[in-house]
A and B are shown apart, each in its own frame.
Chain A
Amino acid sequence: MKARFQAGDRVRVLHLGKTGHIRTPFYVRGRTGTVTELCGYFLNPEELAVGNTAGPVVPLYRVSFPQTELWPDYQGPAHDALSIEIYDHWLAAG
């Protein structure tokens, strides 16, 4: 799978409604951030957790969100951010 996004791209985290070994926490779902880096290509942990080690690997991105985007009542300054890794299939172009 080719990486769909690159550093600087705006992305939105999807609500995939999946259960199991999900590595995308709820607090970033539906939020819009900016890709800061393509971390590489990794086996999907959702598949690994059920014993599927055959792949394919999927792109993993580091995505940065302003804290005020995640928490409308955030108490700190506007430049504070949260950085988190999101697998390709959880992202849409923002």
Chain B
Amino acid sequence: MSHSHDHTHDHGHDGAHAPHPALVVEDEAGNLEGQIIIDALQNILVRKNLLAPEEVTQEIEKIESPGVHLGAKIVARAWVDPAFKERLLANGKSAAAELGIKVGEAQLIVVENTEALHNLICCTLCSCYPRSILGQPPSWYISKAYRARAVREPRAILGEFGLDLPNDIELIVHDSNADMRYLVLPQRPAGTEGMSEAQLAELVTRDCMIGVAKVAPPAQGAS
């Protein structure tokens, strides 16, 4: 993980603006300032026998092992099992637990897309995201542009993702600013009637569960 830091820190910024520091500061070699500080701290803790490198690796694995496949599994089950879907919409956390999926957040609110309603998830204040079932958020999700515009001009955002939402469809933006985390239950696409639950899960993408996309029908010729 560690790398050498033989650079100097003369952050000129670009001009005299900058009333507050940039969110992410990188030097020419691509080193993140925060990473440099963390590496230094980790080296000290390891040298003083307060931390073993394996413990760091284990924590990273714990953070990075959840992924989109967990959310997709939940969605696919909801598509094939209406009773499960009802329980999921009533209590996301306990329904996920039925599938052996542990939701680490306080509560999981599952919002269902229908013919008349579309849901979009964002976090304007930081990067709240259902990490225990979708993994780490994509970089655009934590960008200031998405965070600001998702609440201000959500339909323009959707358009940029290639989703032109007709005006007769109601759009609800969920700003996950506090203790709840949100998951969009996308619509099951047409042409999937004969598919198994596992095949359905493969259709479900991260973007569909954030609400910036719809689930694409299976490619022609796919079984």
Residues of A with Cβ closer than 8 Å to B? 23-25, 27, 39-40, 42, 45, 60, 62, 64, 67, 70-71, 75-77, 79-87
Closest residue of chain B to A82 (Cβ to Cβ) is: B173
Residues of A within 8 A of B156 (CB): 75
Q: From residue A83, how far is it (CB to closest CB) to chain B in Å?
A: 5
Q: Are A25 and B172 in contact (CB under 8 A)?
A: no
Closest residue of chain A to B150 (Cβ to Cβ) is: A82
Residues of A within 8 A of B177 (CB): 23-25, 84-85
Please, how many angstroms separate the alpha-carbon atoms of A81 and B171 in the complex?
6
Q: Are A62 and B154 in contact (CB under 8 A)?
A: no
Q: Are A80 and B175 in contact (CB under 8 A)?
A: no
Question: When the two chains form the complex, which single residue of B154, B176, B180 contacts A76, counting CB atoms closer than 8 Å?
Answer: B154
Q: Are A42 and B172 in contact (CB under 8 A)?
A: no
Q: Does residue B170 face the partner (Cβ distance < 8 Å to A)? A: yes
Q: List 28 A-B contacts (CB under 8 A).
A: A25-B175, A27-B124, A27-B152, A40-B107, A40-B179, A42-B106, A42-B178, A60-B178, A60-B180, A62-B109, A67-B173, A75-B153, A75-B155, A75-B156, A77-B167, A77-B170, A80-B155, A80-B171, A80-B173, A81-B171, A82-B151, A82-B172, A82-B175, A83-B175, A85-B176, A85-B177, A85-B180, A86-B178
Q: Does residue B174 face the partner (Cβ distance < 8 Å to A)? A: yes
Which 9 residue pairs across A and B have the least CB separation, nearest first? A85-B178, A84-B175, A77-B167, A79-B170, A80-B171, A42-B179, A76-B155, A82-B173, A83-B174
Which residues of chain B in 84-116 are interfacial with respect to chain A, using CB atoms and an 8 Å cutoff? 106-107, 109
Residues of A within 8 A of B107 (CB): 39-40
Q: Does residue B125 face the partner (Cβ distance < 8 Å to A)? A: yes
Closest residue of chain B to A81 (Cβ to Cβ) is: B172
Please, how many angstroms separate the alpha-carbon atoms of A25 and B175 in the complex?
10
Give the one of A25, A40, A87 with max B CB within 10 A.
A25
Q: Are B151 and A80 in contact (CB under 8 A)?
A: no
Which residues of chain B in 174-208 are interfacial with respect to chain A, using CB atoms and an 8 Å cutoff? 174-180
Residues of A within 8 A of B152 (CB): 27, 71
Q: Are B174 and A80 in contact (CB under 8 A)?
A: no
Q: From residue A93, how far is it (CB to closest CB) to chain B in Å?
A: 20
Q: From residue A76, how far is it (CB to closest CB) to chain B in Å?
A: 5
Apart from A39-B107, A62-B109, A82-B151, 16 more pairs, CB < 8 Å: A23-B125, A23-B178, A27-B124, A39-B180, A40-B179, A62-B180, A75-B155, A79-B170, A80-B154, A80-B173, A81-B172, A81-B173, A82-B172, A83-B173, A85-B178, A85-B179
Q: Are A80 and B124 in contact (CB under 8 A)?
A: no
Closest residue of chain B to A36 (Cβ to Cβ) is: B172
Q: Are A81 and B124 in contact (CB under 8 A)?
A: no
Please, how many angstroms separate the alpha-carbon atoms of A50 and B157 in the complex?
36
Closest residue of chain B to A85 (Cβ to Cβ) is: B178
Which residues of chain B in 110-166 are interfacial with respect to chain A, using CB atoms and an 8 Å cutoff? 124-125, 151-156
